[in-house]
Amino acid sequence: MTTRLAMLIAAAVAAGSAQAGMDEDARGVGLYGDLWRPDPVHEYWDPGAYHRPETEAVEGVFTGAECVECHADVTPGIVNGWRDSRHAAPGDGAEPVTCAACHGADHRALRFPTPTDCGACHGEQHEQMLDERRYGFPSHALAMERAVDTKHFVDKPKPEVTACLACHSVATKCDSCHTRHRFDAAEARRPEACLTCHSGPPHPDDETYFDSAHGRRYLAEGGTWDWSKPLVKGNYPVPSCAYCHMREGRHQVADKAIWKFGLRDVNPRTAENTVKRRRWIAVCTDCHGESESVAWLRALDNERKRAWRLLDEAEDLLRDLRADDLLYPAAGERPPYPVDWWERFWPRARIGFHEGQASAFYNVSGIERRYFEMWYFESLGAYKAAAHGADAQVAAGHADLRRALDDIRREAEALRELTAAERAAGKRVDPAPLWRAGAYTDLNRERN
């Protein structure tokens, strides 16, 4: 190592390894950005909005070779990852893509790469991802917007919602799927690249995929497959997430989402959904007969219709309670969302997706919360199972839906009986003091 580079390493260590920073007075982004402040980790999850170069870092403009020579000692893992990548050896006589192409060459103006930086070379993939926006939510391209534009993001203490961006940052940086600095397409083709985020009760893609015939075979054999092969017909014994949702490597995952993540009761025969259905069937027909693919999609439709009959019944029960002023605590007896200033004057419980239940999963009565869990957990689990061909989990999901509806029925009846008893006795316990004060509520108010 040269004396100059050795001195640079010592200077970098003395400067705290030349870590970048974020403005201390940085404001939030999104619809309610003026009402919240980002934590330091936001710099990594949304670098385009928050990253600022470290102006006290080592001074100088360096070549890629100098960056690699220095960082081979300072951050050897990063350099080794890069050396294993196609960036280091693109082939066909092309020059290596070194650090400066993604981070810049001026050491006091280094940047964290954004999708726009990646798009400078991978323009087709970048445009395909951005094209998801025309389909609305859900999509990777709108994931960050979906997080920061929700009311609970600004209303709840930041420690409870900041972690959401670990996954929603897929819209603002490419290393959610392509691990830096190797950026190996073979890694991104494996199910684990997707299941880092697509797991858990709201979106149990992991357990439903692994419980399907496709997933079970992947678990048994996937370690022996050649994942360097493109995502085209005949290259893989069974499909992975990327095979179906990013067919032929297209960075567009919103062009086949018929039921909007399973969260909305929609007409599957609209013009848009008719096109999406053809795309869905075409993917399955890579390996199966078309009539079989059509039958599976029809089974998914029937599953959603059965699920929404149960959900609609639950919503009707809640609306009847609201109409009879039987929710406890009532909307006016619990803290309103700070951004919904009109609720201070016209409080109203929001029932169901179209009234905003999706944003009201906390600070609600017990029966409303039970409906949210029915809609967002049990129903979504059944939908994902149907979409992935996990028949046993479809049955289990619908058993959970029926249990949830039974819970709501019992709670609705109990609320009616208790209210009748209170009215007969001429007294009612006011829940407002308990709901509007307390350690959690005070912390919420302080942090926001």
Residue at 29 is within a domain: no
CA separation for the pair 259, 300 (Å, rounded): 10
Instruction: Kindly state whether residue 235 falls inside one of the protein's structural domains.
Output: no
Output DSSP code: residue 96. Answer: P
Looking at the domain assignment, is residue 366 inside a domain?
Answer: yes
Residue 364 lies in a domain: yes
What are the pLDDT digits (tens) for 225-275?
A: 999 999 999 999 999 999 999 999 999 999 988 888 888 888 888 898 899
pLDDT, tens digit (0-9, with 9 covering 90-100), for 74-116: 999 999 999 999 999 998 888 999 999 999 999 999 999 999 9
Amino acid in the structure at residue 127? E
For 165-193, write each residue's pLDDT tens digit.
Answer: 999 999 999 998 998 999 999 999 999 99
Q: State how many domains the chain has.
A: 1
Please check whether residue 41 is in contact with residue 51, taking contact to mean a CB–CB distance below 8 angstroms. no
- The answer to the question of residue 99 being in a domain is no
417 within some domain = yes
- Split at pLDDT 50, 70, 90, the class of 446 is low
Question: CA–CA separation, 170 vs 251, rounded Å?
Answer: 12
* 299 found inside a domain: yes
Distance of CA 166 to the CA centre of its chain: 8
Separation between Cα atoms, residue 407 and residue 36, nearest integer Å = 37
Q: What are 392-421's pLDDT values in tens digits?
A: 999 999 999 999 999 999 999 999 999 999
Give the pLDDT confidence of 58-70 residue by residue, as tens digits: 899 999 999 999 9
Closest Cα to residue 142, out of 281, 57, 30, 59? 30
Q: Is 431 exposed, middle or buried (0-12, 13-18, 19+ CB in 10 A)?
A: middle
What's the rounded Cα separation, in Å, for the pair 255 and 130?
A: 12
CATH number at residue 432: 1.20.850.10
- Indicate if the pLDDT at residue 14 is higher than 70: no
pLDDT attached to residue 7: 43
Domain holding 394, by residue range, is: 290-447
Amino acid at the residue 46: D
Query: Is residue 44 one of the residues assigned to a domain?
Result: no
